[in-house]
């Protein structure tokens, strides 16, 4: 007898569900409902579950209430703090603050002002410098900052750092060092610890439900973390993948790449690259942060200032009413949604893949060069996600994804032969929720149902 699992994604605007046969990977049903932040988030979840039909189990992820806000505290920015930053991005967190070096009073105040849900405390390779990690543990223990700490630094003094933090009843979860030695980045343990803290301490504390324990029991991870797992499942099956999730509050970009032989044989970097990574753009959302899209697009010279007179009132309406949904006959509003989604997608991919600009020296004449970046030339599948893309017609979807594939002035290395699709059935989040316990079903789900949507020529 087959087993059906309801996979539910509680977003900032909509709650989506997919019913999956975990023995075959078959998609049995899908459903969507407005996220019920105005009453109880479980109201929308239960509406989706009922519409999906009978199921044996429910698994959920959530980005409602702003997702997971994380601050990273490390030893030296170019090494340990950067490693922690990368781990946080791959764990579904929105990095609000990065601090490097010993935390003084001003640094602790800046950390507190970022209002993190979790602090990731890292520092030192195993057996290396211990003073900064221990000093920062003392500073956090003394701070009036009541948030859990994930401790992922120098293993030689990890127990001592944990004792320091726990003296003031700080909630601490210790795990393996994110940078055990120079050139070796170990993100998975910290990623799993952040996920556990998110479910155990954060979900229940956002006051999204009158039954916080019940909601926390359903939620397995932050939505971006789950989607990244789904992207990894897809990449394992089809090769290099680029995924754009244009949401109401943020635009997330995921890329899963395979290192070339040249890259694999190259001298190890101080912080090794993450070949499967995610970035989140908190100022780019087609509802809550619609004005940020226009501001970023003007800065990137994607629109003329004359467009502001038309777009600014529309973005203000969306920010004031995030539940706004264009009705029948409101074609101008639909076109604006598609235009905003295209602008958000292009800006987000530029930020994800473009080499960073480094300036040498001071003053207006100091030379600058771009270094790093992600080479997306071998990407074979570009997948679009998010409510605007799911509800747009074929022409609207093409305009959003083609804007990315044809962004020749963006300063990043574009895919050379990618085909584009839209995840209209929410299969990437569902595949991520099933990946650990039902890997075959997750793979079948991700590869079988994406080809059913409209595919576009690059």
Question: In terms of domains, do 184 and 212 share one?
Answer: no
Ramachandran bin of 53, using left for φ above 0, alpha for ψ from -120 to 50, beta for the remaining angles: left
Evaluate whether 92 touches 228 at the Cβ level (below 8 Å). Answer: yes
Shared domain check, 354 and 384 = yes
Q: Is there a domain that residue 86 lies in?
A: yes
Average pLDDT over residues 58-84: 82
Do residues 231 and 216 both lie within one domain? no
Please tell me the predicted confidence (pLDDT) of residue 273: 56
The answer to whether residue 267 scores a pLDDT higher than 50 is: no
Whole-number Å distance between alpha carbons of 222 and 364: 42
Please check whether residues 240 and 292 belong to one and the same domain: yes
89 shares a domain with 166: yes
Do 176 and 157 lie in one domain? The reply is yes
Over 80: is that where the pLDDT of 201 sits? no
User: What range defines the domain where residue 83 resides?
Assistant: 66-202
Distance CA 419, CA 350 (A): 19
- Residue 151 located in a structural domain: yes
Longest dimension (CA), the chain: 71
160, 246: one domain: no
Instruction: Quote the pLDDT of residue 370.
Output: 56
pLDDT band at 260 (very low <50, low <70, confident <90, very high): low
pLDDT in tens, 291-326: 999 999 999 999 987 888 899 999 999 999 988 888
The domain total for the chain is 3
| Domain CATH for 78 | 3.40.50.2300
Mean pLDDT of the chain: 87
Of 64-73, 188-197, 259-268, 312-321, which range is least confident? 259-268
pLDDT attached to residue 82: 73
Using alpha carbons, select from 323, 317, 327 the residue that is nearest to residue 290: 317
pLDDT at 133: 96
pLDDT-derived band at 376 (thresholds 50, 70, 90) equals very high
Residues 279 and 287: their CA atoms lie apart, in Å, by 19
Residue whose C-alpha is closest to residue 158's, from 139, 171, 177: 177
Residue 322 lies in a domain: yes
| Same domain (yes/no): 285, 433 | yes
The reply to whether 187 falls in a domain is yes
Is 190 within 8 Å of 167 (Cβ atoms)? no
452-458 mean pLDDT: 50
E strand map for 263-346: 276-281
pLDDT of residue 177: 95
- The pLDDT-based confidence of 46 (bands split at 50, 70, 90) is very high
Average pLDDT over residues 362-383: 74
328 confidence band (pLDDT: 50, 70, 90):
low
Higher-confidence residue of 238 and 452: namely: 238
pLDDT of the residue at 5: 97
Give the pLDDT band of residue 236 (cuts 50, 70, 90): very high
Q: Do residues 308 and 166 share a domain?
A: no
Q: What is the pLDDT of residue 215?
A: 87
Q: d(Cα 346, Cα 294) in Å, to the nearest integer?
A: 12
Residues 188 and 76 in one domain: yes
Look at residue 73 and tell me whether its pLDDT is greater than 80: yes
**pLDDT of 162 strictly over 60:** yes
What is the share, in percent, of the chain residues with pLDDT greater than 90?
Answer: 59
pLDDT at 89 over 80: no
The CATH number of the domain holding residue 13 is 3.30.420.40
């Amino acid at each position: 007898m087959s087993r059906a699992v309801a996979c539910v994604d509680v977003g900032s605007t909509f709650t989506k569900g997919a019913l999956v046969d975990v023995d075959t990977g078959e998609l049995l049903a899908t459903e969507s409902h407005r996220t019920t932040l105005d009453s109880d988030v479980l109201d929308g979840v239960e509406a989706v579950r009922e519409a999906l039909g009978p199921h044996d189990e429910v698994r959920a992820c959530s980005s409602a209430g702003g997702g997971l806000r994380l601050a990273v505290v490390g030893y030296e920015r170019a090494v340990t703090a950067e490693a922690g930053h990368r781990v946080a991005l791959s764990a579904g967190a929105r990095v609000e603050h990065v601090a490097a070096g010993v935390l003084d009073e001003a640094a602790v105040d800046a950390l507190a002002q970022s209002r993190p849900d979790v602090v990731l405390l890292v520092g030192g390779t195993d057996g290396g410098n211990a003073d900064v990690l221990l000093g920062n543990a003392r500073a956090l223990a003394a701070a009036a900052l009541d948030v859990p700490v994930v401790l992922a630094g120098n293993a030689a003094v990890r127990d001592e750092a944990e004792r320091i933090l726990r003296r003031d009843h700080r909630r601490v979860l210790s795990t393996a060092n994110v940078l055990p030695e120079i050139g070796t980045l170990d993100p998975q343990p910290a990623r799993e610890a952040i996920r556990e803290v998110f479910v155990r301490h954060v979900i229940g504390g956002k006051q999204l439900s009158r039954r916080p324990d019940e909601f926390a029991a359903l939620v397995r991870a932050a939505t971006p973390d789950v989607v990244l797992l789904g992207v990894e499942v897809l990449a394992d099956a089809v090769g290099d993948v680029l995924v754009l999730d244009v949401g109401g509050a943020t635009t997330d970009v995921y890329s899963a790449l395979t290192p070339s032989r040249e890259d694999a044989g190259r001298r190890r970097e101080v912080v090794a690259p993450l070949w499967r990574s995610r970035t989140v753009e908190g100022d780019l959302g087609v509802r809550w942060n619609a004005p940020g899209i226009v501001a970023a697009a003007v800065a990137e010279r994607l629109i003329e200032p004359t467009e502001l007179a038309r777009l600014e009132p529309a973005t203000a309406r969306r920010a004031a009413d995030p539940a706004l949904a264009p009705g029948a006959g409101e074609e101008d509003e639909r076109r604006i949604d598609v235009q905003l989604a295209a602008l958000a997608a292009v800006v987000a991919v530029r930020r994800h893949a473009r080499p960073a600009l480094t300036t040498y020296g001071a003053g207006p004449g100091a030379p600058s060069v771009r270094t790093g970046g992600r080479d997306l030339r071998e990407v074979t599948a570009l997948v679009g996600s998010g409510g605007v893309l799911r509800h747009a017609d074929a022409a609207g979807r093409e305009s959003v994804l083609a804007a990315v594939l044809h962004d020749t002035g963006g300063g990043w290395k574009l895919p050379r032969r990618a085909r584009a699709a839209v995840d209209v059935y929410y299969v990437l989040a569902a595949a991520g929720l099933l990946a650990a316990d039902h890997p075959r079903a997750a793979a079948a789900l991700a590869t079988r149902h994406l080809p059913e949507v409209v595919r576009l020529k690059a």
